[in-house]
Structure 1
Amino acid sequence: MLFASAVAATPTRAAPGGGPAGGQGNGRQSGQQSGEGNGQQNGQKNQQEQVDTEHLFGFSEGAETGQKGEQEVVLDTVTRIGKRRAGPGPSTYRVLDTKLGYQFDPTDGFSIELGAFGDLRRVRTIADLDDKAFGTFDGVSVELKYQFLHASAEQPVGLALELRPRFARVLPVEGNGANVFDMESVLQLDVQVVPGRLWYGANVSFEPAAGRRRGSGGAGFRSSTFLVSQSLVGRIAENTFLGPEIRYLRGYDGTFLNQLESVALTLGPALHHRFTEKTWLTLAYAGQVWGRDTDRAYARRALGLSQFERHALRVKVGVEF
């Protein structure tokens, strides 16, 4: 909550003609100080209102949407690194999932984003996976987001729901060709903990997927993921924000959380910086600090690596217009 400072009145002194010489000066001084105070207050208030939380929290997403007619182009790359080694010698698991998205806002509080995906990977000597090295087009998506609550200085809570139907051509872990449809549903919450200084963001996500593997006699593919993420980001410079992010993930065999395969807990920093009013960059790292697999062969092994990776790095760049 903002407080305007009170302006103290200065004593007047007599003018040569006997009238108060300070009246006009004090009025001007009070007006200037009051104007400066109101300008500073309005500037701080505008600074709060101008913070766009949508891309503020790293892997999590804020509840903010644009105003009617706004558009945005986003290049979003998530690099996934590290799996369980199959045997002696060097091993590699490195996958770059890249999305080029175009977002527009047909009305206030509602946005639509169209996305095209690419998959670039190198896999060598990883348990239960074939060696692979390729890059390919990996499908398209539509993201529909509706904001129920808009955060402001008077009401600090933002709330939105986003649906992300997608068609994919590559299995995310194995890298085999497939025709897969998935539908991620994300509940997005953000709170101005300290107006203009500190924000809290949280996501709850459910993502079922189903399809067919290509070149395997039509073998089916069914999976689902449940995720809860939380982030606390503070302003460390005028246009730079930094804070920790923690994510809890559960991976299942089956489209409706049927059979648990992996559990993982990741932790890492999130950085958001605005170069100009219309261009921005988000960087985030997530390292797995705890996890487990339900497969008996790996029951005593650390981390949940059947469905998730050891490290993930996100680089997201956007231009608004």
Structure 2
Amino acid sequence: MRVHVIAMGAAACLSFWQGGAARAEDASSWRELETKYIFGFTTGSGIGIEGEKEFTIDTIGRFGKRDGHYTATETKYEFEFTPSQFVQIEFGALGATHNIRGMTDLDDRNQVAFAGGFAEFRYLAIERTSNNPLSVTLAFEPNVRLIDETSGEHVHNYEFETAVNADLELMKNRLYAGFNLLYEPEYTQTLFGDTVREATVGGSAALSVRVLSNVVLGGEVWYLRHYDAVDLSAFTGDAVLLGPSLYIRFTPKMFMTAAWNAQVWGREIGNPVSLNLSEFQRQRARLKFAWEF
């Protein structure tokens, strides 16, 4: 977490120095912003320009459980391209790290591993226009994992994330609101032959303001529910996560997104303790770098 905080602070200082001239500019003169990356963990509706390609390194870290020490990360090494103005395709590899010590129900582990692969298909269903500030994209992301996200154990995991990504331009080139709806069923087979079926559903709301032509600050809130069945028939608990976000465009072809969320409320069915640290984590952080070409 300290490394992430230092990196975010250094990048912000650099960006403010680079964007100093933008303070005197009128927001109406700024180039249009692609909203996909400006909300943190919430994904905006933007899909880029037709023919555009992009390489991204996107790391999500999860920190803290009920006891012991828990740190886990998953990194996407992603290639993205936009074959038409309404379709975006992404695919790539997954890498994972786990550092677990002294935790109930989880084995001690310190490892770095190749974790699997993924693809994502996005379709722009409603396009923003001068008369319509709303934009909506439908997304489907299948994942195949060889390493369990939580425990770090070797598994065969199949996840099928389906999402609605929407955003509103509240003030031209300046203020944006983002909204996500999520349904994420999973099927996991362990090395011992056990089969686990589960699902996560939820939604988010985010607000981001463009403080400079190349800097966007924001905040978001997530509500997530976990089920021990893909048909949502076995509810096990829920949680609310809240935190800030930062987007910086260093050059016309290179940018960074950073975000941090903390669990501020949660419950586990059948357990009176505060927070839900069985299905979710105390904190999570995101750091993404992208290069367009």
Deviation at 1:307, TM superposition (A): 0.7
Q: 1:46 to 1:147 in 2, by over 3 A?
A: farther
Q: Is the 8 A contact 1:262 1:308 kept in 2?
A: no
Q: Is the 8 A contact 2:71 2:100 kept in 1?
A: yes
Partners in 1 of 2:151 and 2:65 — Cα distance?
11
Partners in 2 of 1:228 and 1:189 — Cα distance?
11
Using the size of structure 1 for normalisation, the TM-score is: 0.81
Q: Which residue of 1 aligns with 2:203?
A: 228
> What value does the CA root-mean-square deviation take over the aligned residues?
1.3
Q: Which residue of 2 aligns with 1:307?
A: 279
Partners in 2 of 1:243 and 1:262 — Cα distance?
28
Q: Which residue of 2 aligns with 1:255?
A: 230
Deviation at 1:153, TM superposition (A): 3.6
- Residue 116 of structure 2 aligns with an amino acid whose one-letter code is G
Q: Which residue of 2 aligns with 1:126?
A: 103
- Residue 265 of structure 1 aligns with an amino acid whose one-letter code is V
- Residue 104 of structure 1 aligns with an amino acid whose one-letter code is F
Q: Which residue of 2 aligns with 1:116?
A: 93
What whole-Å deviation, never above 9, does each CA across 1:91-139 have from its counterpart, x for those lacking one? 2100011111000111111010012101101111122212111111111
Q: Which residue of 1 aligns with 2:72?
A: 95
Count, aligned residues: 268
Q: Which residue of 2 aligns with 1:20?
A: none
Deviation at 1:260, TM superposition (A): 1.7
- In the TM superposition, 1:198-277 aligns within 5 A as 198-214=175-191, 216=192, 218-277=193-252
Q: Is the 8 A contact 2:30 2:213 kept in 1?
A: no
Q: Which residue of 2 aligns with 1:318?
A: 290
Identify which of structures 1 and 2 has the higher relative contact order when contacts are C-alpha pairs closer than 8 Å and 6+ apart.
Answer: 2
Q: Is the 8 A contact 1:116 1:141 kept in 2?
A: yes
Q: Which residue of 2 aligns with 1:77?
A: 59
SS of the aligned residue for 1:196 comes to: coil
- Residue 122 of structure 2 aligns with an amino acid whose one-letter code is K
Partners in 2 of 1:45 and 1:81 — Cα distance?
40
Specify the structure having the higher radius of gyration (Cα). 1
Q: Is the 8 A contact 2:226 2:235 kept in 1?
A: yes
SS of the aligned residue for 1:54 comes to: helix
1:282 is matched with which residue: 250, 257, 260?
A: 257
SS of the aligned residue for 2:251 comes to: coil
Larger fraction in strand: 2
Q: 1:310 to 1:234 in 2, by over 3 A?
A: same
What whole-Å deviation, never above 9, does each CA across 1:242-296 have from its counterpart, x for those lacking one? 11110001111122223122211011001111111111100100000000111x3
Partners in 2 of 1:237 and 1:44 — Cα distance?
8
2:267 is matched with which residue: 285, 288, 292?
A: 292
Deviation at 1:213, TM superposition (A): 0.5
Do structure 1's residue 52 and structure 2's residue 6 form an aligned pair?
no
Partners in 2 of 1:234 and 1:226 — Cα distance?
27
- Structure 1 residue runs of 5 or longer lacking an equivalent are 1-42, 86-90
Partners in 2 of 1:47 and 1:185 — Cα distance?
33
Q: Is the 8 A contact 1:66 1:109 kept in 2?
A: no
- Residue 223 of structure 1 aligns with an amino acid whose one-letter code is E
Q: Is the 8 A contact 1:141 1:164 kept in 2?
A: yes
Using the size of structure 2 for normalisation, the TM-score is: 0.88
Identity rate, percent: 32
- Residue 302 of structure 1 aligns with an amino acid whose one-letter code is S
Q: Is the 8 A contact 1:191 1:200 kept in 2?
A: yes
Q: Which residue of 2 aligns with 1:159?
A: 136
- Residue 147 of structure 2 aligns with an amino acid whose one-letter code is V
Q: Which residue of 2 aligns with 1:195?
A: 172
Partners in 1 of 2:195 and 2:207 — Cα distance?
40
